[in-house]
Structure 1
Amino acid sequence: MPWNTLDDMDLSGKTVLTRVDINVPMEAGVVSDMTRIDKIKPTVEAIIAKGGKVVLLAHFDRPKGKVVPEMSLGHLVGALSASLGRKVIFAADCVGDAAAKAIAGAGKGEIVLLENTRFKPGEEKNDPALAAEMASLGDVYVNDAFSAAHRAHASTEGLARLLPAAAGRLMEAELKALEAALGTPERPVVAVVGGAKVSTKIELLANLVTKVDHLVIGGGMANTFLVAEGIEVGKSLAEREMAETAREIHRKAQKAGCAIHLPVDVVVAREFKAGAESHVVGVRDCPMDAMILDAGPKTVASIEAVFAGAKTLIWNGPLGAFEITPFDAATNAAAKAAARLTREGKLISVAGGGDTVAALNQAGAAEDFTFISTAGGAFLEWMEGKELPGVAALMG
């Protein structure tokens, strides 16, 4: 593995600056989803077990280099302490005397939480002076925030180059899963890409067709590809101006030996609302006054057949308007098929992206996937084949 993990580091007696993602949703001053906080526990416990002192660096929301009291990480002390089962000492700054005193005063097994790194204008500018101030507080740097690894910030990229650096447990798991999915995957590899617009995923599609054996396109994106083939889609969401781009991606796929799978039947309705009257038609039979809102049963069966013949699956985006019943049927069925194959040890399945995680949870399939990335933008940029600065910095 080209990056160090916690297992490679001597942390005994060391102060470990640990970049985490605890940018959690809040409602009325209370954390409404603890997922990101809970996920840092393995890294925190591993550092303490190896004799290190944990100092957490994190951002919260978008204060744009100014001190915004409601975006203070101080609001998370209670939630962190409850999740980690340890005393959390808060420092009202991420550098300087306040940070140094909090670190010096922390006892064995206690955790120090430094203030929001984005309160500093130099954070998002990757200011070397700010990174050096941060580095002066510790002995070792650990990055456990893959979700922030696509940003070259002082606390994600600059700091990693100033101290001995390693990936935390969550970062390590993410990188291993992604390497297994696109780096050196077991073949055949199938990618599912759904969502509304081709225009937001051009780089993603262009990269994937050179890396995978099968590309399943769903959601509103599929409609654009159908239009590119001269198929009329009525009032469906479609970017008609992107038709030539879709054809170019198809040509690139043919050249690379990647099979693109589009719907062969679709679920249409005249209203976009829960319980709207709908019916299944062939992909060329969408009425002019109707819209395509999901893939049909024949399409689902063909997707399941592709899954059954694959060894690795990468999934980003739903196959239809999954938020509304009955237009969640295709996404649910395909997700359950992937989950079953994973459970049976026949498929390595990796998924990521906000809508994707929500859709797989709704289908009751998420727990059986090999790996679910909650990283959002970083996951997408990795799928696009881009270098992630926070990961590159760990490699020296």
Structure 2
Amino acid sequence: MAWKTLDQMQLDGKRVLVRVDINVPVADGKVTDDTRIQRIVPTVKDILGAGGLPILLAHFGRPKGARVAEMSLQQLVPALEAAFDAPVVFAADCVGPAAEAASAALQPGQVLLLENTRFHAAETENDAAFAANMAKLGDIYCNDAFSAAHRAHASTEALARLLPACAGRLMQAELSALETALGTPKRPVTAVVGGAKVSTKLELLGNLVGKVDNLIIGGGMANTFLAAKGIDVGKSLAEHDMTGTAREIMEKAAAAGCNIVLPVDVVVAREFKAGAANETVAADACPADAMILDAGPASVAEVSKVLEASKTLIWNGPLGAFEIEPFNAATDAAALKAAALTRAGGLISVAGGGDTVAALNASGAADDFSYISTAGGAFLEWMEGKTLPGVAALMG
């Protein structure tokens, strides 16, 4: 790896500017889901343990360069103190006199939280002068926000080039997991790509067919591929204007030796609601007045066979309308199969993306996956083969 970790930095007595993602849901001033906060605890505790002084840089919401009271990071102080088991000092700005005074006064054992970086338009503009003002506050830069690494912002990109830089524990885990899954994977490699639209995952599919051995397509995307093969999908969600593109992807996959796995049977219903009357039919037998809402049991058996023969799995997106029962069945069954294979030591499984995390949590499979990324856009862009500015900046 070309990037450094905290273990390669001399932290004792040093002020460490740590870019974190603590953009968490808040209701009535209270954090309702502290997953992202918990993910940065190892980095903060390791810096404190090594005698360093952590100074947190973060964004919250989209204030678009204005000071928006409800987007102040001050409201997160109690949740951060509980997570770190350490006092958290708050500074009302991330640059300038208030931030500089707070940085200078920071004591060993304390954590400093700087105000929302996006209160300054210069942050999203990746402004060099703004980054230089942030750099004055610390001796070392540590990026622990993989989920923001696809943005070339001052606190993720420009700042990394002004100080000795390293990856935090979460960033290190994300990069290591993705390198294992797509960089130098154990083969055969299988990717599960689901979701509503082919159009939003074109680059992803185009990149994957050249890198993986099997590509399992689910959700509304699978309907578009079935339609591309001349199959009538009734009233199903499908992008009929994308069928030509779907055929191109199938041709590219065939040329690359990538096996595309589509549903062989489907669960159909006349209405999209929980507990709707449904039936399982062959993939090419969807009634004209029905819609495909899930893959059927024969499809799950096919997917399971592919997973059993795989060494590495990358998962992004559900296989059906997992949010409503019983159309979560295929996603749950495939996820639990992947979890069992991972638990048995035969599979490395990496998953990411909002819907994916929700689906795997709902199925009960999440804890047994090798790694689940909390990043959405950054995870997808990495899978698309793109260079992430925040990661590139750590490479020096």
TM-score, normalization by structure 2: 0.99
CA distance in 2, matches of 1:299, 1:131: 52
Alignment correspondent of 1:213:
213
Alignment correspondent of 2:292:
292
Identity of aligned residues (%): 70
CA distance in 1, matches of 2:124, 2:73: 17
CA distance in 1, matches of 2:378, 2:389: 10
Are 2:108 and 1:90 aligned?
Answer: no
CA distance in 2, matches of 1:246, 1:163: 46
Alignment correspondent of 1:346:
346
Alignment correspondent of 1:335:
335
User: Within 5 Å, which residues of 2 pair with 1:247-286?
Assistant: 247-286=247-286
Alignment correspondent of 1:308:
308
Alignment correspondent of 1:26:
26
CA distance in 1, matches of 2:13, 2:328: 53
User: Within 5 Å, which residues of 2 pair with 1:65-104?
Assistant: 65-104=65-104
Q: Secondary structure at the match of 1:39?
A: helix
Deviations 1:366-387 (A, max 9, x none): 0000000010110000011100
Alignment correspondent of 1:147:
147
CA distance in 2, matches of 1:76, 1:291: 44
User: Within 5 Å, which residues of 2 pair with 1:195-214?
Assistant: 195-214=195-214
Are 2:59 and 1:59 aligned?
Answer: yes
Letter in 1 for 2:223: N
CA distance in 1, matches of 2:41, 2:328: 34
User: Within 5 Å, which residues of 2 pair with 1:39-50?
Assistant: 39-50=39-50
CA distance in 1, matches of 2:202, 2:39: 31
CA distance in 1, matches of 2:107, 2:126: 31
Q: Secondary structure at the match of 2:203?
A: helix
Letter in 1 for 2:39: K
Alignment correspondent of 2:128:
128
Q: Secondary structure at the match of 2:260?
A: strand
* Structure 1 position 99, deviation (Å): 0.6
Alignment correspondent of 1:6:
6
* Structure 1 position 235, deviation (Å): 0.3
CA distance in 2, matches of 1:181, 1:264: 27
Letter in 2 for 1:141: Y
Runs of 4+ in 1 over 3 A off after TM superposition: none
Structure 2 unaligned blocks of 5 or more: none
Letter in 1 for 2:179: E
Q: How many residues are aligned here?
A: 396
Alignment correspondent of 2:222:
222
CA distance in 2, matches of 1:269, 1:74: 48
CA distance in 2, matches of 1:241, 1:189: 30
CA distance in 2, matches of 1:212, 1:235: 32
* Structure 1 position 350, deviation (Å): 0.2
Are 2:15 and 1:15 aligned?
Answer: yes
Letter in 2 for 1:265: D
Q: Secondary structure at the match of 1:287?
A: coil
Deviations 1:311-335 (A, max 9, x none): 0000000000000101000000000
* Structure 1 position 2, deviation (Å): 1.0
Q: Secondary structure at the match of 1:320?
A: coil
Q: Secondary structure at the match of 1:7?
A: helix
Q: Secondary structure at the match of 1:100?
A: helix
TM-score, normalization by structure 1: 0.99
* Structure 1 position 50, deviation (Å): 1.7
* Structure 1 position 284, deviation (Å): 0.8
CA distance in 2, matches of 1:71, 1:177: 32
Q: Secondary structure at the match of 2:315?
A: strand
Structure 1 unaligned blocks of 5 or more: none
Letter in 2 for 1:2: A
C-alpha RMSD over aligned residues? 0.5
CA distance in 2, matches of 1:101, 1:12: 20
* Structure 1 position 104, deviation (Å): 1.6
Alignment correspondent of 2:157:
157
* Structure 1 position 11, deviation (Å): 1.1
